[in-house]
A and B are shown apart, each in its own frame.
Chain A
Amino acid sequence: MSKILVGLKRVVDYNVRVRVKPDGTGVVTDGVKMSINPFDEIALEEALRIKEKGGAAEVIVVSIGPADTQQQLRTGLAMGADRAILVQTDGAVEPLAAARVFLKLVEKESPQLVILGKQGIDDDNNQTGQMLAALWNRPQATFASKVELDGAKAKVTREVDAGLETIEVDLPAVITSDLRLNEPRYVKLPDIMKAKKKQLDTLAIADLGVDAGAQFKTLQYSPPASRQKGIMVKDVAGLVEALKQKGLM
């Protein structure tokens, strides 16, 4: 029976108000809460549901990141993943390098499906799934809001600018999750205990023979341009008057 590979990226929690360091070398991450990228939780939830319906035998969660990323992988195991792989590196990993790492693992594990998030909410790149699909020479179904498996095919509904688009892809394939694909389950305490006994393998990125060499260099981080302070109006008449003053009515 088949396997599903799921990517779990460790990112600054979505509730944190991210601030740029005064010296412009990055954003403040000291003491900041780190979590699984929200899209990846959705990706994992989808994989688990497919497995629970008999569509897969094993769900493997994969993360590329520093040693601390074990926390996020343990959370993934507690959600229900069967085992975890940490590809350890302390440096930044560009999406192309991440895709190359996933390709190596795909070659090793031969999954039927790889489900990633549509974007990491840290760098907002939205690239890795598409790149993996290209390198693997397999279909991509990005921004998925519905996945229906049918033997060696999948029908995927995608959230696109025009509305909803449905495509059919042959398996194996890469799917990237959009927000409305599902609502991830909460982790229960006993599951956290059980997850401690599950298998978590650690490899170094160099062991996979992937060159993480960077094409892009970030020269500076700046805070976004701030908007001018606005005015408060008391009532509808005040609102209409303010709109008129701005030439909007």
Chain B
Amino acid sequence: MARILVVAEHANGKLNPATAKCVACASGIQGAEIDVAVLAADAGAVAKEAAAIQGVKRVLKIENAANAEPLAAILAPQVAAAAANYTHVFGPSTTFGKDLMPRVAALLGVGQLSDIMAVESDYKFRRPVYAGNAVITVEASKDKKLVATVRTASFQPAASGGNASVESANVSAELPTHTRFVTRSAAKTGRPDLQTASRVVSGGRALGSADNFKIIYSLADKLGAAVGASRAAVDAGYAANDLQVGQTGKIIAPELYVAIGISGAIQHLTGIKDARTIVAINKDSEAPIFEVADIGLVGDLFTILPELEKAL
């Protein structure tokens, strides 16, 4: 039987919805027993939230003052120690999980399966490669612990309403001092979070300046949407790095994605493949974004957007 440990992601005392998506993925394995590990300085509130995820059996609190910030070098030995009695260890394919889980795997002397998008059986999964241009079916060796990250855009969060037990776990692991947290700067926008928003409006290089990019924010606010951007727009300084959507930015699955002045490079498209409805506004009718758009409008964004805002 599969015994799965899911590593919770959290910040500011709140559980990240990516965790419930990992539980949903783990629940896809028949008969799996699922525990969640919360590593924190004070895990209380987060553990309580995790205990309410349906399908979770136990929540393990792994508390240590050194866990105040999610530093992979410090968390990994603790996760590896906690993983002893499990067959599978899952984390989200967010920057948190991508940083941490391979370090856990190597400490356990095993490989890692990245970005699970579908479960076929306890050791058989599907995942994207080549920026999503191919999907592979992979079988992992059954005699090794399976460490994996879960492509969060492929799973709906497991429902709440569960009632798991919460326990303090004592793990003995030597924690290094060679890595220290300095600072984190997160833009507080008051807008929906890009990774979980049901609507996203994104701007590309065509916006031309940070000042012009404001019309993207304005449309997003009208639609109650989060704001995203192409790499070109981020590189040019029109938008912050955490707004980048794509292969090397965020992979998202909103109900509505509006791409404005974005050509639709393969690296961008891989981030929006799972969007329910894609709307594209671009002045070039040959732009590849129209190949994936559900609704396309050819024209100049600087005339279309003011009209659209008025119509909303």
Contacts from A to B (Cβ < 8 Å):
12, 14, 17-20, 27, 94-96, 99, 118-119, 121-128, 130-135, 137-140, 142-143, 145, 155, 158-170, 173, 178-180, 215-224, 227-228, 230-240, 242-243, 246, 248-249
Contact = CB atoms under 8 A, between A and B. Distances in A.
A218 B136 CA distance: 7
24 contacts: A14-B267, A17-B133, A18-B134, A95-B102, A123-B114, A124-B131, A130-B101, A139-B73, A163-B186, A163-B241, A180-B235, A219-B137, A222-B134, A222-B137, A224-B135, A230-B293, A232-B298, A235-B299, A236-B297, A236-B304, A237-B311, A239-B295, A243-B256, A248-B256
Contact of B241 (A95, A142, A180, A216): A180
B297 A155 contact: no
Interface in B275-311: 277-279, 290, 292-299, 304, 307-308, 311
A194 B235 CA distance: 33
Given A127-B114, A167-B180, A239-B297, 9 more contacts: A17-B266, A27-B133, A134-B107, A169-B179, A215-B144, A217-B139, A221-B135, A230-B294, A234-B297
Interface in B124-139: 124, 128-139
Given A162-B184, A215-B110, A224-B273, A134 B76 contact: yes
Interface stretch (B24-32, B51-59, B92-100, B204-212): B92-100
A249 to B, nearest CB: 7
Given A235-B297, A246-B277, A159 B138 contact: no
Interface of B: 11, 71-73, 76, 94-96, 98-107, 110-115, 124, 128-141, 144, 176, 178-187, 195, 231, 234-235, 240-242, 247-248, 250, 255-256, 266-267, 273, 277-279, 290, 292-299, 304, 307-308, 311-312
- Return the 6 tightest CB-CB contacts between A and B, nearest first: A134-B106, A130-B102, A131-B106, A127-B102, A163-B186, A230-B294
B248 A223 contact: no
Main secondary structure of the interface of B (DSSP, over half): mixed
Nearest to A218: B136
Contacts of B304: 236
A149 B109 CA distance: 31
A19 B134 CA distance: 7
Contacts of B273: 224, 227
Contact of A133 (B73, B96, B140, B299): B73
Contact of B98 (A126, A166, A215, A248): A126
| Centre residue among B137, B140, B144, B195 by max chain A CB count within 10 A | B137
A161 B134 contact: no
Given A27-B130, A224-B134, A238 B241 contact: no
Given A236-B304, A246-B277, A219 B139 contact: yes
A139 to B, nearest CB: 4
B293 A238 contact: no
B245 to A, nearest CB: 12
Contacts of A18: 130-131, 133-134
Given A161-B96, A178-B248, A242 B295 contact: yes
